[in-house]
Copies of this chain bind each other. A is one copy, B any other.
Amino acid sequence: MNEDRLTRAALHAFAELNRPLFEGELRTLVDLPSVSSDPERIRDIRLCAEAAVDLFLRHGGSAELLETSGNPLVLGRFDADPGFPTVTVYNHLDVQPANEPEWTTNPFHMEIQGDTYLGRGTTDDKGPALTAFFGALAAREAQVPLNIHFLWELEEEIGSPSFREGLERNREALRTSAVIVSDTIWITRGRPSTPAGLRGLAGFRLTLETARHDLHSGVVGGAARNPLAELITAVADMLDGPTGRVKIPHFYREVVPPSGKERREWDRSGFTVEQFKQDHHLLTLRTDRARKVMKRVWARPTMEVHGVVGGYTGPGIKTAVPARAEVKMSCRLVPGMDVETTLNRIRKFLASHHPDVEFHAEHGLAPFMGRVTGPCAEAVKAAYAFGFGIPCCFTREGGSIGAVSTMEEVLGCQVSFLGLSLPSHGYHAPNENYDWEQAAGGMAAFSHFFMTMSSTL
């Protein structure tokens, strides 16, 4: 191992030298609209996977597609020696849709504005994936005695339906000593944080059809059932909109409140309500107390309404009674809760109170509780301190990465997090972006992480 190549100065020089290359590779990936929820993008998903394989080959690694019954997984490798330990970096290359009218640039044509990279997937999760990739290139140049593997998924945004299958089919190729996930968000710029827990997800849709086509509310209104109105009543019976309180019996039964120790760690995370509102362009919140906001986002389950389909949505009003309606919803789950148990409680409640409403389960993701001590946790702390000059604190992540618990279970190793995204990067939002400061610091942090792990494992 050539430790001279792993100093802060050397890694800074490495990042600056490779910046044009990094930006070019990021553009290649971002310009491929790998929207996994859109069946029409299946070809772009495939092109994105092939571009990823090509990336590894062009940089002297090896790579293959692990086919599943859904989208493939990309397995890229920088192998040093079979005798060395292996660390696997997990990222995903599929992205959210980008249909929001607020986009100021083409979301699938990456634009560089100074140090900022604009486009769908820049921060979630193509930018962090490439940052870890360049961190591995630096570690390889320094001859760090470690095999570094990359597992890039293409179904993360739709709940990883084929991920378990892909892992189980390829246990041998995927054998690893540890997994590091880079798909999480700090609390604020300049203060790295890493999650000790993730929320899960239980998605579902409600539908109701009462006529063959939309009707005239004068002609039939009063006698005709209104499926939008009925679904609205059903949703209101499940959820108090203003407070967010879920009314499904036993919904909160398995929720474990955070410990005093954990909450004191949160207090040191740099979280402020003002910054939270500003980062997410929030005009108003359900509470303005920081501890309550953190608890609600990190340690409490939710029920959300994501969209309502049916009837007339053009300008003004059209006085039709819709023939059918659909409500798109999901719950975030906290550690202790279970996807199936939650969906069953909702299903049962609806069957008893609104038997005509059809319930359709969508993708589910188990919540995850990680470790904040041990060699991997220490390596993460050291990596952040090295790359960004300040140690990280352990908070939680309100979002869900279903792949995490699957990897822990199928690969039988610990999963840790080395996330690089910032709240202001706009995860799942219009004008999603990533930036060079996080990329350059992240490359150094990953190089350092690989170095530490090579001597720890």
A66 within 8 A of B: no
**CB closest residue in chain B, given A307:** B311
A357 CB to nearest B CB, Å: 10
A46 within 8 A of B: no
Whole-angstrom distance between the alpha carbons of A105 and B239 in the complex?
Answer: 42
Give the contacting residue for A430; candidates B214, B218, B310; CB below 8 A. Answer: B214
- Could you give, for residues 291-305 of chain A, a 1 whenever the CB lies within 8 Å of some chain B CB and a 0 otherwise? 011001100111111
Contact indicator A214/B286 (Cβ below 8 Å): no
Question: CA separation between A316 and B204, bound complex, in Å?
Answer: 9
* Stretch of A318-326, A378-386, A436-444 lying at the B interface: A318-326
Closest-CB distance, A44 to chain B (whole angstroms):
16
Cβ contacts under 8 Å, A201 to chain B: 218, 319
Interface positions, chain A 198-225, Cβ under 8 Å from B, are: 199, 201, 203-205, 209-225
Cross-interface CB contact of A215 among B205, B240, B319, B428, cutoff 8 Å: B428
Asked if A232 is at the interface (CB within 8 A of a chain B CB), the reply is yes
- Taking a contact as CB atoms closer than 8 A, the residue among B205, B213, B237, B330 that contacts A102 in the complex is B213
Q: Say whether A218 contacts B285, CB under 8 Å.
A: no
A75 to B5, CA, bound (A): 89
- A283-B266 Cα distance, complex, nearest whole Å: 54
A328 at the interface (CB under 8 A from B): yes
Give the segment of A113-121, A141-149, A397-405 that binds chain B: A397-405
Chain A 411-426 per-residue mask, 1 if CB under 8 angstroms from chain B, else 0? 0000000000001000
* Interface flag for A329 (CB, 8 Å): yes
Whether the Cβ atoms of B398 and A220 lie closer than 8 Å is yes
Complex Cα–Cα for A313 and B306 (A): 8
Contact of A223 among B220, B296, B428, B431 (CB under 8 A): B296
Interface string of A232-249 (1 = CB under 8 A from B): 111111011110100000
* Interchain CB contact under 8 A, B306 and A308: no
Verify A306–B311 contact, CB threshold 8 A: yes
- A233 contact from B221, B241, B332, Cβ within 8 A: B241
Evaluate contact between B219 and A423: CB separation under 8 angstroms. yes
A309 at the interface (CB under 8 A from B): yes
Inter-chain CA distance A230–B225, complex, in Å, is 23
Specify the chain B residue showing the minimal Cβ separation from A236. B236
A88: CB under 8 A from chain B? no
A240 to B224, CA, bound (A): 14
Once A102-B213, A330-B217 are accepted as A-B contacts, the answer to whether A322 and B297 lie under 8 Å apart by CB is: no
Residue A222 contacts which of B239, B300, B307 (CB distance < 8 angstroms)? Answer: B300
Query: Could you say which of B220, B285, B305 contacts A232, with CB atoms under 8 Å apart?
Result: B305
Closest B-chain residue to A316, C-beta based?
B37
Which A residues between 255 and 304 are near B, CB-CB below 8 angstroms? 276, 280-287, 292-293, 296-297, 300-304
A37→B225 contact, CB < 8 A = no
Interface residues of A in 95-111 (CB under 8 A from B): 96-97, 99-100, 102
Check if A429 is an interface residue, CB within 8 A of chain B. Answer: yes
In whole angstroms, how far apart are the Cα atoms of A324 and B185 in the complex?
A: 24
With beta carbons under 8 angstroms apart, the residue of B96, B242, B281 that contacts A213 is B281
Contact with B along A154-192 (1 / 0, CB 8 A): 000010000000000000000000000000010000000
**A304→B37 contact, CB < 8 A:** no
Q: Is A314 interfacial (CB 8 A cutoff)?
A: yes
A11 within 8 A of B: no
Alpha-carbon distance A296/B217, docked complex (angstroms): 12
Enumerate the 7 nearest inter-chain pairs by beta-carbon distance, A residue then B residue, closest first. A218-B399, A236-B236, A233-B241, A212-B281, A229-B241, A222-B296, A307-B311
Interchain Cβ contacts under 8 Å between A and B, 6 examples: A214-B429, A221-B332, A226-B241, A229-B305, A235-B236, A320-B428
